[in-house]
């Protein structure tokens, strides 16, 4: 991390920039912390809120509530895009962190099915939907904010901190989940232990709100003060249709790769390779930590050499090497499995480090949050939310555990050709 530290030290107005980075970073920790703890405790939540004689049915219902959040992400994209473009990035960021914090707290105190019947399941789904709206606005609003406040030659590096916050949130959620499971019995976990990680999320939210409340605001587009009925999203479709399609194409691969590699493959290692679940989670945690280190380094290089080369390297690498990397993971050997997943992490970092700056630079200020939010969240809702399901379906239909690589390679190949149509945005003015 010495390279990252050097970047911060050499940045003008260091104290202001650190506050800006913290503002973008902290909200994503909360968003993805909640994402991780819900997934980690899904079997427990299934028993408590969606009870059934069949444990698998309960688990599927619990993940159904999880999926409901994905369906609401485009709604959040539209809502927070409008707020960010009309009222300012600061308002969007402050509202999004609170919209995640309140439902997370309520999940932590929610009565179970045994206490209030089916109402418990309905309330859980509703809270997950509200959280989905928040996620739909948080990530894109934060990276637009970060890129707009960055020195012109450090935009990719600043924007990458939204991704760093997301990975740190997942790592934090996994760590808290592991601690709770270690220090509680099965009975204690069902009775009260599962509530602790959700209630703890409020601490992160409080810090996030405090930091964001004092952040600087970028000036809004002058045309907004002149047109009361101005619709940023409508204008985005009118003036940036091509760029929105390009952004969606880039994020199609981003969504499929991330949710397949870092969400589905842990289960794949258990079900198809026969690895111990604890070992599979250890490998995934180490790979996520590696991703957290690789992303800012890739972003620093993208600031120096341009965004497009790293988008192309990442997409070409996934298209060409997915079969090889997945093949490495299809062994009863910790080192080989870890090598394969870290290989994926390195390729994901190449495009993940460049994407926030690229998307922000594609759009003009007056429509930037709306255009970025919609073009990012639609492919994540469609392709990200379904990626684990598609992967599991391919394995079942083909009978080949390595068939997942075909899907990864196909999506990455499509994205590669879409990236070829994108103009290099490094050095582009963000002012209208």
For residue range 118-141, what is the model confidence (pLDDT) as tens digits? 888 889 888 888 888 888 877 888
The predicted structure's pLDDT at residue 60: 67
Place of tokens 């196909």: 410
| 10-residue stretch averages of pLDDT, the chain, 432 residues long | 52 64 77 76 81 69 72 84 78 79 88 89 87 82 87 92 89 82 84 89 74 61 53 84 94 92 84 82 89 96 96 97 96 93 96 94 88 90 82 87 94 97 89 66
Task: Determine, yes or no, domain membership for 151.
Answer: yes
pTM of the model: 0.83
In sequence order, the 6+-apart residues with CB closer than 8 A to the CB of 30 are 97, 100, 101, 104, 169, 201, 204, 205, 208
Task: Determine, yes or no, domain membership for 166.
Answer: yes
The predicted structure's pLDDT at residue 134: 82
**33 and 133: one domain?**
yes
The DSSP call for residue 11 is: S
Read off the CATH number of the domain in which 143 is found: 1.20.1250.20
Q: How far apart, in whole angstroms, are the C-alpha atoms of residue 357 and residue 323? A: 30
**155 and 205: one domain?**
yes
**335 and 235: one domain?**
yes
CA-to-CA dists, residue 346 to 6, 59, 162, 229, 424, angstroms: 21, 32, 17, 45, 22
**378 and 405: one domain?**
yes
Are the C-beta atoms of residues 408 and 257 closer than 8 Å to each other? Answer: yes
The predicted structure's pLDDT at residue 225: 45
The predicted structure's pLDDT at residue 221: 52
Task: Find the DSSP H helices in 41-153.
Answer: 42-49, 55-71, 73-86, 89-109, 113-116, 118-149
Task: Determine, yes or no, domain membership for 9.
Answer: no
What total number of domains does the chain contain?
A: 2
Q: Identify the domain containing residue 295 by its residue range.
A: 231-432
**130 and 272: one domain?**
no
Q: How far apart, in whole angstroms, are the C-alpha atoms of residue 157 and residue 147? A: 8
The predicted structure's pLDDT at residue 11: 45
Q: 187, 215, 243 — which closes off a domain?
A: 215
Q: 185, 215, 245 — which closes off a domain?
A: 215
Q: Left, alpha or beta for 316 (phi > 0: left; psi -120 to 50: alpha)?
A: alpha
Measured in whole angstroms, how far is the alpha carbon of residue 42 from the centre of its chain? 19
Task: Determine, yes or no, domain membership for 221.
Answer: no
Task: Determine, yes or no, domain membership for 2.
Answer: no
**330 and 393: one domain?**
yes
The predicted structure's pLDDT at residue 213: 65
Neighbours of 54 (CB within 10 A): 8
**103 and 251: one domain?**
no
**244 and 192: one domain?**
no
The predicted structure's pLDDT at residue 343: 97
Task: Determine, yes or no, domain membership for 1.
Answer: no
Task: Determine, yes or no, domain membership for 318.
Answer: yes
Task: Determine, yes or no, domain membership for 198.
Answer: yes
Place of tokens 């409020």: 202
The predicted structure's pLDDT at residue 16: 66
**290 and 369: one domain?**
yes
**114 and 253: one domain?**
no
The burial of 203, by beta-carbon neighbours within 10 Å (0-12 exposed, 13-18 middle, 19 or more buried), is given as exposed
**200 and 342: one domain?**
no
**315 and 401: one domain?**
yes
Q: How far apart, in whole angstroms, are the C-alpha atoms of residue 24 and residue 82? A: 19
């Amino acid at each position: 991390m010495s390279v990252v530290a050097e970047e911060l030290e050499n940045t003008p107005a260091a104290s202001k920039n650190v506050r800006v980075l913290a503002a973008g970073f902290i909200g994503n920790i909360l968003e993805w912390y909640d994402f991780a703890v819900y997934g980690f405790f899904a079997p427990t939540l299934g028993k408590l809120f969606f009870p059934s004689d069949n444990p698998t049915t309960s688990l599927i219902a619990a993940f159904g509530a999880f999926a409901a959040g994905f369906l609401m992400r485009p709604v959040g994209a539209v809502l927070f895009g409008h707020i960010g473009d009309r009222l300012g990035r600061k308002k969007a960021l402050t509202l999004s962190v609170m919209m995640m914090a309140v439902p997370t707290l309520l999940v932590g105190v929610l009565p179970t099915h045994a206490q209030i019947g089916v109402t418990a399941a309905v309330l859980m789904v509703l809270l997950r939907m509200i959280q989905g709206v928040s996620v739909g606005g948080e990530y894109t609003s934060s990276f637009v904010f970060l890129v707009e406040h960055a020195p012109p030659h450090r935009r990719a590096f600043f924007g990458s901190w939204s991704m760093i916050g997301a990975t740190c949130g997942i790592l934090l959620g996994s760590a808290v989940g592991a601690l709770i499971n270690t220090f509680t019995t099965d009975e204690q976990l069902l009775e009260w232990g599962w509530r602790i990680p959700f209630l703890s999320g409020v601490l992160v939210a409080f810090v996030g709100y405090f930091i964001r409340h004092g952040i600087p605001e970028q000036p809004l587009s002058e045309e907004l003060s002149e047109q009361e009925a101005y619709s940023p999203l409508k204008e985005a479709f009118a003036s940036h249709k091509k760029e929105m399609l390009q952004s969606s194409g880039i994020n199609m691969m981003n969504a499929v790769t991330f949710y397949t590699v870092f969400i589905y493959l842990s289960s794949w290692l258990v079900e198809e390779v026969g690895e111990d679940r604890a070992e599979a989670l250890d490998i995934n945690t180490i790979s996520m930590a590696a991703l957290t280190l690789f992303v800012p380094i890739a972003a620093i290089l993208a600031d120096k050499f341009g965004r497009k080369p790293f988008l192309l390297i990442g997409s070409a690498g996934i298209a060409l090497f997915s079969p090889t990397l997945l093949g490495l993971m299809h062994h009863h050997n910790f080192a080989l499995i870890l090598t394969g997943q870290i290989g994926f992490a390195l390729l994901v970092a190449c495009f993940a480090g460049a994407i926030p700056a690229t998307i922000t630079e594609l759009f003009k200020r007056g429509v930037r949050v709306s255009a970025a939010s919609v073009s990012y969240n639609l492919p994540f809702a469609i392709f990200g939310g379904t990626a684990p399901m598609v992967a599991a379906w391919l394995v079942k239909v083909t009978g080949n555990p390595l068939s997942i690589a075909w899907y990864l390679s196909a999506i990455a190949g499509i994205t590669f050709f879409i990236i070829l149509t994108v103009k290099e945005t490094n050095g582009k003015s963000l002012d209208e």
